[in-house]
Amino acid sequence: MADRKYEFSWDFIGDVKEGRPNLGNTTRIEVYRLFQYTLRDVLEEKFGTEAADRVFFDAGYKAGVNFCKQFIGESSNLNDYIEKVKQALLDLKIGILRVESADIDRLTFVLTVAEDLDCSGLPDMGHAVCTYDEGFITGVFYSYNGAELNVKESDCWCTGDRTCRFHVTPMSHA
Ligand SMILES: [Zn+2]
């Protein structure tokens, strides 16, 4: 596509220190969620639920890849890598990541994210909402060694659970 206006780069994050000398680099969760859920509303209205979810997944994926480029960098092994991701997610107040189970040989993991930025505290809706996180986690694993894994959220604050739980499996098992 020739005339892209918004292809992501870190320029869209900008120089926050210079740009917000008084307000600084934080805002409130309400603002983040207002942005996310109005955007989802419009995407769903215009393109349907499935396409809206797909957009969120793909955006999360790009975010995961760019997040790792910016904050994680190279790691010698997966454990070390996941530890760095965990710390960065804490530092940026995105959520509290835990590895519930890991089978590195089979690339099968169960991850939980507590106090998730997207859903913690929302009412029980009978379905998970963290599609962006599914994409984000997919991007995080891809950034480690190019592995395309399948990431699916099973439990979410919006399914009445108190933590989000993500099952990571090789693509062929998807
Ligand atoms: Zn969730």
Domain-wise residue ranges, the chain: 10-173
Identify the pLDDT of residue 1.
65
**158 CB burial (10 A radius; 0-12, 13-18, 19+):** buried
CA 99 – CA 50 distance, rounded (Å): 29
Supply the pLDDT for residue 172: 72
10-173, which class in CATH?
alpha beta
Q: Give the pLDDT score at 73.
A: 85
Q: How far is the CA of 122 from the centre of ligand 1 (A)?
A: 9
Token pair, residue 78, equals 């997966």
Measured in angstroms, how far is the CA atom of residue 2 from the centroid of ligand 1?
A: 36
pLDDT at position 173 is: 45
For ligand 1, the distance from its centroid to the CA atom of residue 166, given in whole angstroms, is 9
pLDDT of 2? 73
- The predicted pLDDT at position 66 comes to 97
List residues bridging with 113 in a β-sheet: 97, 164
Look at the pTM and tell me if it is higher than 0.85: yes
Per-residue pLDDT of the chain (174 residues; tens, 9 = 90+): 679 999 999 999 999 999 999 999 999 999 999 999 999 999 999 999 999 999 999 999 999 999 999 999 889 899 999 999 999 999 999 999 999 999 989 999 999 999 999 999 999 999 999 999 999 999 999 999 898 999 999 999 999 999 999 999 998 744
**3-class DSSP state of 164:** strand
CA of 127 to the centre of ligand 1 (A): 9
